[in-house]
Chain A
Amino acid sequence: MIKRDFVIGAVIAAVALAAMPIAHAGAKPDPAADQKAFQAYFKSRFPSLPLADYVDGPYNFSKSERDQWKQIMDFPPYQFSLDTGKQMFETKFPNGKSYADCLPNGGIGIAQNYPMFDEKTGQVVTLAGAVNQCRVDNGLKPLKLTKEPMADLVAYMTYTSRGKPIDVKVPDSPKALAAYEHGKEYFYTRRGQLNFSCASCHVQEAGKHLRGDVLAPALGITASFPVYRSKWGNTGTLVRRFVGCNEQVRSVPDKPDSANYRDLAYFLTYMSDGLPIAGPGARP
């Protein structure tokens, strides 16, 4: 009797074990659970750091950098971008229309909702992508996604969202979940000759030094973009930073409008839902 029970038990256990990887492999993505775990990880790693302060990135971990940053912010280096961006935003297209005519809420105070998933196209749309779509719809050429003037325009639009909590949504649809999962995979995948993933620096080594730089935690990292970087000497978008990160780990970067980068931005920004928009920012 005992022997029979043992055999039955062993068979059940074997079947359950065999089914586990299948169940795991086919498990439906759960963005809300991921987000909860992601934020909890950083809360437990840096218990004294309020959640909203993560948007200040590296300045939470280096007093000297924070002091310098505060002084720099007396005259924010991105001010020129804001002025240019505002002027661009308010300038009518040759057909008499403007950005306000083709973006939600007239394009003001909407940055916290991007990237968003467009069910019609089945793709993630970034704020810069929406701006370019607006331009194309009005007979203008799309702008390059990495630097000015796009960075200026997005900087101004992001400024109108300052303080609003990030509110990126992942709809419960197969395509949206696939895009989210793709972004998540990209974030955690090691690449390049140095064998680094985004997570290597911005999760595992967050808050530590990499040579002279303090590595910003992934949580809240998108909230300050576009950023004026002293290294660049001008303002750049989030995708510009993605390109730079790929180059730093000796990986050939993707195209700025690639699904890889759009989905990565989607995942990363969704992880920071609830944190306030702080862009445009200033970084070393």
Chain B
Amino acid sequence: MKRLYLAGFAALVLPGLAAAATPTKASAEHAIAAAEAKIKLSAAHDNQWPSTLAALKSAKAAEKKSDFATAETEAKRAEMLAGLSLQQAVSQKKLWKNAVVH
């Protein structure tokens, strides 16, 4: 009975996990789109980091070469960096006042 459960688990879950872990053109494009959206937000807050744009550029270059794994990784890195710069910009909207010479 135990073996039957294990076989069922393997048959149902593992292919799904494998599919999720294997980057595809669609998943890379999705990651790039998400990064671009976050980059647009940080640009609107006047705070862009060169490393963010470099990561996005790498992601797009990899996607063109059908290297979807690299494309997805780089796009996620770009999204993360854009998120950090956005966080910096938003927090600084108040925090800059603490540094003012009085």
Could you tell me which A residues sit within 8 Å of B by CB distance?
34, 37-38, 41, 184-185, 188-193, 195, 197, 199-200, 203-204, 247, 250-252, 254, 260
Once the chains are docked, how many angstroms separate the CA of A184 from the CA of B100?
9
* A-B CB pair tally, cutoff 8 Å: 52
Q: 14 A-B Cβ contacts within 8 A?
A: A184-B100, A188-B97, A188-B100, A189-B96, A190-B88, A191-B92, A192-B49, A193-B49, A199-B101, A203-B101, A251-B47, A252-B48, A252-B50, A260-B46
If over half of B's interface residues share one DSSP class (helix, strand or loop), that class is named, otherwise mixed; here it is helix
B49, A250: Cβ atoms under 8 Å? yes
Q: Apart from A184-B100, A191-B47, A247-B50, what are 16 other A-B pairs with CB-CB below 8 Å?
A: A34-B100, A37-B102, A185-B96, A188-B96, A189-B96, A191-B89, A191-B92, A192-B47, A193-B49, A197-B96, A199-B101, A200-B99, A203-B101, A250-B50, A252-B53, A260-B46
A38, B101: Cβ atoms under 8 Å? yes
The winner among A193, A199, A204, A252 for most chain B CB atoms within 10 A is: A252
Query: Taking the nearest CB of chain A, how far is it from the CB of B55, in angstroms?
Result: 12
Cross-interface CB contact of B49 among A188, A252, A254, cutoff 8 Å:
A252
Once the chains are docked, how many angstroms separate the CA of A185 from the CA of B96?
7
Q: Which residue of A lies closest to B51 (CB)?
A: A193
A185-B96, A250-B51, A251-B47 known; A191+B88 contact, CB < 8 A: yes
Residue interface mask B80-102, A partner, CB < 8 A = 1: 01000100110010011101111
Query: Taking the nearest CB of chain B, how far is it from the CB of A185, in angstroms?
Result: 6
Query: How many positions in chain B have a CB within 8 Å of any CB in the partner chain?
Result: 19
The winner among B48, B85, B95, B100 for most chain A CB atoms within 10 A is: B100
Could you tell me which B residues sit within 8 Å of A by CB distance?
46-51, 53, 81, 85, 88-89, 92, 95-97, 99-102
Top 7 closest pairs, chain A to chain B, by CB? A252-B48, A188-B96, A189-B96, A41-B101, A188-B99, A193-B49, A189-B92
B99, A199: Cβ atoms under 8 Å? yes
If over half of A's interface residues share one DSSP class (helix, strand or loop), that class is named, otherwise mixed; here it is helix
Once the chains are docked, how many angstroms separate the CA of A192 from the CA of B100?
19
Q: Which residue of A lies closest to B47 (CB)?
A: A191
Q: Which residue of A lies closest to B100 (CB)?
A: A188
Once the chains are docked, how many angstroms separate the CA of A197 from the CA of B53?
21
Which residues on B sit within 8 Å (CB–CB) of A260? 46
Query: Taking the nearest CB of chain B, how far is it from the CB of A42, in angstroms?
Result: 9
Once the chains are docked, how many angstroms separate the CA of A199 from the CA of B92?
13
Once the chains are docked, how many angstroms separate the CA of A260 from the CA of B45?
12
Which residues on A sit within 8 Å (CB–CB) of B88? 190-191, 195
Once the chains are docked, how many angstroms separate the CA of A197 from the CA of B101?
13
Q: Which residue of A lies closest to B94 (CB)?
A: A25
Query: Taking the nearest CB of chain A, how far is it from the CB of B76, in angstroms?
Result: 17
Which residues on B sit within 8 Å (CB–CB) of A189? 92, 96
